[in-house]
Amino acid sequence: MARMDEFGQPVGRPVSWSPPTALTPLTTTGRDVAVAPLLPEHAAGLWEALGPDRAQWTYLGPEPPTSVDDMRAIVEGYVSAPGWSPHVITDPEGVVLGMASYLRVRPALGSVEIGAISYGTRLRRSPAATEAMTLFTRHVFASGFRRYEWKCDDLNAPSRSAALRLGFRYEGTWRNALVYKGRNRDTAWYAMTDDDWRRLEPIHTAWLAGTGDGRQAFALSEATAALWNDEERR
């Protein structure tokens, strides 16, 4: 809640926080996935995992690759992009499954975005994909950041659903936000804060633990929606 200053004007709550110096690249292995910095040598594995699926690229900046060389050019572009920290997602044995990037890393503001997410068929709609996103999120907030953003084309329904399922909250749509591939993009904004994550992390952890027989004990989308619905009713 806002409080009043000496002039009778509402101001935000006091915050005791020091900006992190940086967001280090994530290198970690979970139960079903591993995450590491993206390198050009991952291009062949990414081509095998992603290349044949041209629909994967509809809402991404690059045109669909047609060869390993095209994929390598995409990877090199991601690696050299200012403010990006791209990562490869593999299984624990090192087989490439997809990639995702930290974008617009702004330590002074305590803010970072996740984006350029591409999943191969093995990773898509799997518990491993959720585990990967949990690992990325945990690293952001453990590093001292306060805000974690997810943005997508407003017409990208799967991405919008994924953001809500993970616990990001919708904050609005920026109309005519940019032009890519010769078409307009209205950008939908989602975010979670460090306070949000303190409530979301136990839900993620319980969901990933499952029932012990390879199934999940509850629907993550329902659990995160219930959390924010309860908050709105308070």
| 71 vs 7, more confident | 71
pLDDT the model gives residue 57: 93
Average pLDDT over residues 182-199: 97
Question: How sure is the predictor about 232, in pLDDT bands with cuts at 50, 70 and 90?
Answer: confident
Of 52-66, 72-86, 91-105, the one with minimum mean pLDDT is 52-66
Average pLDDT over residues 177-184: 96
Does residue 211 have a pLDDT over 80? no
Asked if the structure places residue 123 within a domain, the reply is: yes
Asked if the structure places residue 57 within a domain, the reply is: yes
pLDDT the model gives residue 16: 87
Domain residues for 146?
Answer: 21-228
pLDDT the model gives residue 13: 86
Those residues whose C-beta lies under 8 Å from the C-beta of residue 213, and which sit 6 or more positions away, are none
Asked if the structure places residue 1 within a domain, the reply is: no
| 167 vs 215, more confident | 167
Pick the closest to residue 130 from 27, 36, 200 (CA basis).
200
Reported as a single tens digit per residue, the pLDDT across 138-158 is 999 999 999 999 999 999 999
Does residue 234 have a pLDDT over 80? no
For position 37, which CATH number holds?
3.40.630.30
**132 CA to centre of own chain:** 9
Reported as a single tens digit per residue, the pLDDT across 15-57 is 888 999 899 999 999 999 999 999 999 999 999 999 778 888 9
Does residue 99 have a pLDDT over 80? yes
Does residue 217 have a pLDDT over 90? no
pTM, two decimals, is 0.93
Asked if the structure places residue 166 within a domain, the reply is: yes
Asked if the structure places residue 8 within a domain, the reply is: no
Asked if the structure places residue 10 within a domain, the reply is: no
Give residue for tokens 């292995």: 29
Give residue for tokens 């959390």: 227
Asked if the structure places residue 86 within a domain, the reply is: yes
Those residues whose C-beta lies under 8 Å from the C-beta of residue 118, and which sit 6 or more positions away, are 46, 50, 56, 60, 98, 99, 100
Asked if the structure places residue 15 within a domain, the reply is: no
Q: Which residues pair with 185 in a beta bridge?
A: 178
- Structural domain total, the chain: 1
- Look over the chain and give the mean of its residue pLDDT values, rounded to a whole number: 93
How far is it, in rounded angstroms, from Cα 43 to Cα 75? 7
Question: How sure is the predictor about 214, in pLDDT bands with cuts at 50, 70 and 90?
Answer: low
DSSP labels for 92-133? TT--EEEEEEEEEEEGGGTEEEEEEEEE-TTTTTSHHHHHHH
pLDDT the model gives residue 221: 94
Of 51-65, 127-141, 162-176, the one with minimum mean pLDDT is 51-65
Identify which of 41-55, 64-78, 210-224 has the greatest average pLDDT. Answer: 64-78
DSSP labels for the chain? --EE-TTS-EEPPP------S--PPP-EE-SS-EEEE--GGGHHHHHHHHTT-GGGGTTSSSPPP-SHHHHHHHHHHHHHSTT-EEEEEE-TT--EEEEEEEEEEEGGGTEEEEEEEEE-TTTTTSHHHHHHHHHHHHHHHHTT-SEEEEEEETT-HHHHHHHHHHT-EEEEEEEEEEEETTEEEEEEEEEEEHHHHHHHHHHHHHHHHTTSSS--SS-HHHHHHHHHHHHHH-
